[in-house]
């Protein structure tokens, strides 16, 4: 099957979200626009790393280019998105590789999520579409204000999970957990 590139420039909405209860959540990136809704599955840690790296990149662009970059220090309140994911959530693919970039000529952030590939298969070069073979891709181009809003929402999504154990940092279930710092006793 030929490679699919799902491109949004810009999307009407680009968010990280979950389906399910804490401890049993599935994480998604979802882009909407032009009558399309594309949802790709990923791990919680991938959402966390994406948010951290986007935040760092935006800080660096702002540091280098100043206020003229259009990068706000904090997300604009009018861009706060607390709505759930658009339903039904239909997974297009599971994310393997992600890439982010700053396009100086357009002053936009590019986020690319490539489908995971089987062991031994080579992934296509990120940010190119020359090959018809290779993993599917979700690519969005968003203004820096939307990128800051994405980061803020992703951080809220991560924080909404199970609270960490004060001793070991592992997630607590509603009835506690077997804590390695207490030699396997429940905490």
Q: Is residue 93 part of a domain?
A: yes
Q: Where residue 154 sits, what CATH number does that domain have?
A: 3.30.2450
Q: Angle at CA 14, nearest 5°, toward 9 and 20?
A: 150
Number of compact structural domains in the chain? 1
Produce one character per residue of 121-133: b if its CB has 16 or more CB atoms within 10 Å, e if not: eeebebeeeeeee
Q: What is the pLDDT along the chain (187 residues), one digit of tens a residue?
A: 688 999 999 999 999 999 998 878 999 999 999 999 999 999 999 999 999 999 999 999 999 998 888 899 999 999 999 999 999 999 999 999 999 999 999 999 999 999 998 765 555 444 455 566 789 999 999 999 999 999 999 999 998 887 778 888 777 777 777 888 777 666 6
Neighbours of 157 (CB within 10 A): 20
Q: Is residue 187 part of a domain?
A: no
For residue 140, the model assigns a pLDDT of 98
For residue 124, the model assigns a pLDDT of 45
Domain enclosing residue 15, as ranges: 5-182
């Amino acid at each position: 099957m030929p490679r699919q590139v799902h491109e949004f420039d810009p999307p009407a909405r680009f968010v990280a979200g979950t389906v399910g209860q804490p401890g049993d959540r599935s994480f998604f990136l979802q882009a909407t626009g032009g009558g399309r809704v594309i949802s790709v599955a990923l791990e919680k840690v991938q959402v966390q790393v994406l948010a951290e790296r986007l935040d760092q990149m935006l800080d660096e662009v702002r540091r280098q280019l100043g206020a003229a970059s259009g990068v706000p220090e904090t997300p604009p309140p009018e861009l706060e998105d607390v709505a759930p994911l658009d339903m039904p959530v239909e997974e297009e693919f599971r994310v393997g590789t992600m890439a982010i970039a700053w396009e100086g000529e357009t002053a936009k952030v590019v986020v690319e999520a490539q489908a995971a590939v089987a062991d031994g298969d080579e992934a296509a070069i990120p940010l190119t579409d020359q090959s018809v073979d290779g993993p599917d891709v979700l690519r969005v181009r968003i203004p820096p204000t939307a990128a800051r809003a994405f980061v803020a929402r992703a951080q809220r999504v991560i924080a909404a999970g199970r609270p960490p154990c004060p001793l070991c940092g592992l997630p607590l279930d509603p009835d506690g957990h077997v804590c390695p710092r207490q030699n396997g006793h429940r905490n």
